[in-house]
Amino acid sequence: MRCSRWRRVAVAFLALAVLMGLAVSVQAPPPDHPAVRLLASARKAIRSGSAAEAAKPLEDVKRLFPQTPEADEAEKLLKRISSLEVLLDRSHEWRSETQTVAGYLKQSGIGVTTSDASLAHLKDRLGDYEVILIWQEQATLAFTESEIQMLKDYLKEGGRLLVIGTTKTPAPYPLRKLLDALGCPLRAPQAQVNYGEGRVKFFDNTGLFVETRLADARESQQEVVEVFQRMMPYEQLGRSSVDEYVKPETEEQVGPLKLEYSARLTTSAERTTELLTKILEQISLAYKDDLAEGMTVRLVPRGWSSWMGNLVFGSGALQTPPDLTRQLSRAVALYALFPEGKWIDYPPWITNGWCDLVALRVCYKVGFKRESETMRKEYLDAYKPDLTKLDDIDLSVSQRGGQREYIAKAQWVLEVLEKNQNKNILASLRRTLKRYAAAGKVPDAMSTRNVLFYLSQALHQDMFAFFQAVGTNVLPVKLDYYELDKPEKK
């Protein structure tokens, strides 16, 4: 027993000695250590806005004290001050103008990360950005308490928050809650307050950042870049090559389509999944074929809004169910005309005319009958086509007479063609496109003449003559390159 007791005592002393040794080995250097003094000098220079003065002591720490925690810290600080980076947050309101702003900043050597993911998804990265831009002019998504706290913590550490909004949006205005929490007034034309070591600046969007101004790079690029540069905690030492896009963090499969959305849009995504399931069923019936995988639907925090490019369709998640159904249906109807999931640029009378007519029919069949009939009547009332007096179907009609009249003309032409042929025109066109695509004879960009050639092959009729008969300004042309050896049989 006595031996065992002494053995336990010896083991305890040995363990204590080991722990003391470890404590000594990881003990931080004293405050008067040269590495500590150099780091303190560098941090003071950074806080005063002089990145150039901070660079030399940081380089000295790396050179004199390699492979130490101080050298690692110096490396992080050097990386931070060597270039400037901005986060463009679109998780509360998606705005196309941010793409123009991003272009201006990148041309000036400022790194840009554009994010459609929630702020929570980027929580551990917020400190990497000198400035965060939040642009919100509508009553879209409110800021949660946790998001506000994230931004407060970011500002306390010296971050800069640039907020663009409006003083004219009626209550409830989500941006007001954020600015109130940060002590920044919602005041035109601008307001600025310090928060911790950081700064908050609000711009009323009445001049500099108006979309029409942003479109004119010659006048506004320098002004926009200067706004960001004045917000920076220190001067720009070098150019940044950062050009990053962060997509929404949540992804799920809905039939052949991929659905992307941020955690803040989960409720809207559930509704969208139900609508997409119904839409896919109707589109498959309309085209007499199942769709291939390849298209992505990306939900963004916006009302009536949509865009499409490179097989990604962006749609405002906060619009009404009938409007959302129509936009999704139009996108899926267009995707059905992409043989083998290959992106093709179609003329507007296909994308905005024919595919929109398919979308209105889908809306009717999935339960939005009244809304579908109302939208269709608006087009017919706006433009009553006549075989003997018609305008060109191409984009010039939109420029002369307005978008509604242009869409109505294109939809009317499809209805006339369906009646004359007594067949499913778009299903026939899809089958022909797939056949030509398999032979590698479908271009990436379709002109009206290209489309009419494939229609002629699909329907075994001269579509150039038909389109001339209904008043469209298109000349027949022989496209030998796209012809297959054997024409399609009836």
| Span 248-336 CATH architecture | 2-Layer Sandwich (3.30)
Domain ranges of the chain: 34-77, 83-246, 248-336, 369-490
Residues in the chain: 490
One fold for 83-246 and 248-336: no
The residue among 252, 288, 304 whose CA lies nearest residue 273 is: 252
The pair of structure tokens assigned to 184 is: 């920044």
The residue among 94, 89, 128 whose CA lies nearest residue 111 is: 128
- 389: CB partners within 8 A, 6+ apart: 471
Ranges of the chain whose pLDDT falls below 50:
1-3, 6, 9-11, 13-14, 16-26, 387-388, 390-392, 395-401, 480-482, 484-490
The residue among 46, 132, 51, 139 whose CA lies nearest residue 92 is: 139
| Angle, CA of 94, 99 and 102, to the nearest 5° | 120
The residue among 188, 149, 143 whose CA lies nearest residue 165 is: 188
Given this model, what pLDDT does residue 447 score? 86
CA distances from 109 to 106, 126, 262, 457 (A): 5, 20, 29, 52
CA distances from 340 to 57, 75, 126 (A): 58, 49, 40
d(CA 68, CA 270) in angstroms, rounded, equals 51
- Note whether 104 and 221 are within 8 A (CB): yes
- 40: CB partners within 8 A, 6+ apart: none
- 218: CB partners within 8 A, 6+ apart: none
The CATH number that domain 83-246 falls under is 3.40.50.2300
- Note whether 30 and 65 are within 8 A (CB): no
- Note whether 454 and 443 are within 8 A (CB): no
- In one-letter notation, the amino acid at residue 38 is L
Given this model, what pLDDT does residue 55 score? 82
- Note whether 161 and 193 are within 8 A (CB): no
